[in-house]
Amino acid sequence: MERDSFDGQASGPGERLVHLRDGRAVLLRHAQETDAHLMLQALNEVANEGRFLLRRAWDITPELEQRWIRFALGGVDFLVLAVLLENEQTRAEIEVAGSLSLVRGRPEFIRHTADLSMWLRSAYREQGLGSALAQYAMEWAEVQEDLEKITLSVRSSNRRALNLYSKFGFQEEGRRHAYIKTEQGYEDEVLLSRFVRHPPDFEREHGSSGMYGYGTPGYHPGHAGALDDQEDTGE
């Protein structure tokens, strides 16, 4: 169950209340300046598992926190937190459950793109939260008139994340073979993308839109429930 309120921030969804499968209430909201320290601590917890991200830890310094604050409040990017609530009446926040970001391309010729990243703490996986965050991000992306394409990368061992993104219309564009090396061996980095909207003449030059992750069955704005059985596990 999801309910929105619109908070007057950048166009797109406002706060959203999500009920997890086990009944816990989680609020999806835009990141704020005061979130930096707790968000980085939670991110480090996920990184330390060694299964999802490309490093095990960040050195949390005041300088790093300030960079995250500038990122969160920059007005171009999308950074949302999922926070566990004590109850939905008071909306008292208990802890960070996960986060999703969309970072717009900075150089002139890739400003029409955004790179997506998502992670969840272990206690919030396989609860429908990954689908809710992805849904939230797609709704934001679709009202950004100059955003055409979303890209992301996933470790090849993260099958649940690959399945989740596929259900939202992302297509594999390529791989960096043996790009990741851990104690368990090598993994590929899988490069995925989804078009929010196509440039003029795209289909004539590149074939049908479904080949490139646009209009793909499985993603329907406002209806992410069917995706919850295959949840992103950490990314």
Q: Let me know if 201 is exposed, middle or buried by CB neighbors in 10 A (0-12, 13-18, 19+).
A: exposed
User: Per the structure block, which two tokens stand in for 208?
Assistant: 């049908």
> What's residue 76's pLDDT?
67
Q: Tell me: the pLDDT tens digits for 63-73?
A: 888 887 777 67
Q: Are residues 196 and 148 in contact, defined by beta-carbon separation less than 8 angstroms?
A: yes
- Domains of the chain, residue spans: 2-225
- pLDDT of 208 strictly over 50: yes
pLDDT tens digits, 24-61: 999 999 988 889 889 999 999 999 999 998 889 888 88
Separation CA 37–CA 43 (nearest Å): 10
Instruction: Check residue 203 and give its pLDDT.
Output: 65
pLDDT in tens, 145-181: 999 999 999 999 999 999 999 999 999 999 999 999 9
The domain over range 2-225 is classified in CATH as 3.40.50.300: no
For residue 193, what pLDDT is reported?
97
pLDDT at site 88: 87
Tell me if 96 sits within 8 A of 38, measured CB to CB: yes
Say what percent of the chain tops pLDDT 90: 59
- Whether 233 and 120 have beta carbons less than 8 Å apart is answered as yes
φ/ψ of residue 79, rounded to 5: -130, 115
Q: What percent of the chain has pLDDT over 70?
A: 78
Q: Global pTM?
A: 0.82
pLDDT at 185: 95
Say whether pLDDT at 133 is over 90.
yes
